[in-house]
Each structure stands twice: as C-alpha cells, then as structure tokens.
Amino acid sequence: MIRLRRTATAAVLALTAATAAVLGLAGPASAHVTVNPREATQGGYGRFAFRVPNESDTASTNKLEVVLPENAPVGSVSTMPVPGWTVAVEKRKVDPPIEVHGSQITEAVSKLTWTATGDAAVKPGQFQEFPVSMGPLPKVDRMVFKVLQSYTDGNVQRWIEEPVAGGEEPENPAPVLTLTAASASPSAPASAPAAPAAADDDDDDSTGVATGLGVAGLVAGLAGLVLGGLAFARTRRQPAAGSPAEPTA
C-alpha cells in the first residue's frame, strides 16, 4: 500500500509540474503594447493598430503617447476615431523632404497622443486598439515606436526599450514594425495592400487554440500515466488466479 501511494503521489506531482510549466510558457506573451500587424512592405501603405492592454489591477489607462521614429519619417499618417478618445497630432520638419506621389513633403508626424474622455479609459482586465494608416513606409528594416502609457493613479509605463536582434526581450520593449523589401518580380503588383489588423487577431486566436490543445493533450497523457501506474501497482499486489494465498502471520 505504501508503494502504491508513493507511485500515485509522484505521478500527480509530475502532472502538476508539467502543467504549470506549459501554462507559464503560454502566459504573459503579449502583456506589453504592440503594433499589429507586425510586418509590412517598404514603400507600401497599411492600416496598423497599437494594441494597449491595461496591466494595473486598480487603475485605468487614460492616455497613450506614440512617438514615431526620427530615422524613418512617413509622409502620410492618419488616425481612425476611437470612441471616447481624442487624438492630438504633432509634426516636425524633415530634411531631406519625403516624396509622396511626386510631391515633396517637408513635414512628418512625430507624435500621436490619445486621451480618454468620460468613462472611456481602459479598465483593469481590458485592452484597447488605436488604429492608424501610414505610408509610404520608409525603406528601413524596422520602425521602432516608443510609447508612454499613463494611468489614472499617476503612474506611467514607458515602453521605450529597443529589442536587440538575437538577444532577450527587454523588460519594457517598444513596439516594432518589421519592414521587408518589395518583391522584385515583374509579375508581382507594385504595392500589395497591407493585411488588416484583424488578421493578427486571427493569428493570436489560432496560437491560443493550439496552445490550449497542447496543454490539454499533455494533461491527458500524464493523467493516463498516473492511472496506468496505479493499475500496474494494484496488479503487482493481487495474487494470480489459482495460486495459493500468502500465509498470514
């Protein structure tokens, strides 16, 4: 009986540890501010959304400041109305000018600031998206957007650390838009429209479903091992049919 209990206890501990490890890996994957989609084509136009989760348990997010990179100015930046939020647009001079449809643009958007009005602040356990349209996208490998997220209790979360290729993710990473060169194939369109931000939602949902199924499979497999171990232990203790019973003391 003691051996049976030890086998069951060890199996349960293994099941608990493995489940906690898997859930831990699937946990805070997108707890910071991100830009979605995260990839686009140089020279093209696209609709992008800054996704802002509220990380406080007691305060709401009531202000978002997004700084566009100085080394990658964009000729056209427009915002989509967000119910309950106002947006302020700041511009700066650019030299050399940016060419957009044959025109020389000498100013570019440098900062976007959304401010909540009324009861529109992002509450604990919620997130909000702030869509923008940008283009033509600069011919650089990536755009790094430094973001300040303000809370109703006065705290400010600074998402400003630039990730390093091949390194660990910073504690407060800035949203990054990766840009790839346009296809050189003559049969390819000059500038394909960027995928809508909703496509990233589908990717996130698919990833979540796949992770959930993987966790369920692992739990079921380990549960099977527990039951198998218990059955084996009982079999070892039961005498075979027809064999004499063990003498009692």
Under 8 Å between Cβ of 108 and 73: yes
Residue 71, by phi and psi: left (phi above 0), alpha (psi -120 to 50) or beta? alpha
pLDDT of residue 247: 47
Q: Which residues contact 151 (CB under 8 A, 6 or more apart)?
A: 56, 59, 60, 61, 62, 157
> Quick one: pLDDT band at residue 168, thresholds 50, 70, 90?
confident
Window from 24-28, 50-54, 183-187 with minimum mean pLDDT: 24-28
Element (H, E) at 132: strand 127-135
* Residue in 165, 150, 142 with CA at minimum distance from that of residue 52: 150
pLDDT of residue 191: 47
Judge whether residue 204 has pLDDT over 60: no
pTM, 2 dp: 0.64
pLDDT of residue 221: 59
Window from 26-35, 57-66, 225-234 with minimum mean pLDDT: 225-234
d(CA 194, CA 131): 13
> Quick one: pLDDT band at residue 211, thresholds 50, 70, 90?
low
Mean per-residue pLDDT of the chain = 78
Judge whether residue 48 has pLDDT over 90: yes
pLDDT of residue 217: 58
> Quick one: pLDDT band at residue 188, thresholds 50, 70, 90?
very low
Judge whether residue 141 has pLDDT over 60: yes
d(CA 200, CA 223): 34
Judge whether residue 245 has pLDDT over 70: no
Cα-to-chain-centroid distance, residue 130: 15
Judge whether residue 28 has pLDDT over 90: no
- DSSP-assigned beta bridge partners for residue 176: 144
Q: How many Cα atoms within 13 Å fall on the side-chain side of residue 244?
A: 3
- Dihedral sign for Cα 79, 82, 84, 85, please: negative
Under 8 Å between Cβ of 94 and 134: no
pLDDT of residue 94: 93
> Quick one: pLDDT band at residue 24, thresholds 50, 70, 90?
very low
pLDDT of residue 167: 80
> Quick one: pLDDT band at residue 197, thresholds 50, 70, 90?
very low
Return the CATH superfamily for domain 38-182.
Answer: Uncharacterised protein YcnI-like PF07987, DUF1775 (2.60.40.2230)
Q: How many Cα atoms within 13 Å fall on the side-chain side of residue 88?
A: 7
3-state secondary structure 56-104: CCCCCEEEEEEECCCCCCCCEEEECCCCCEEEEEEEEEEEEEEEECCEE
Percent of the chain having pLDDT more than 70?
A: 61
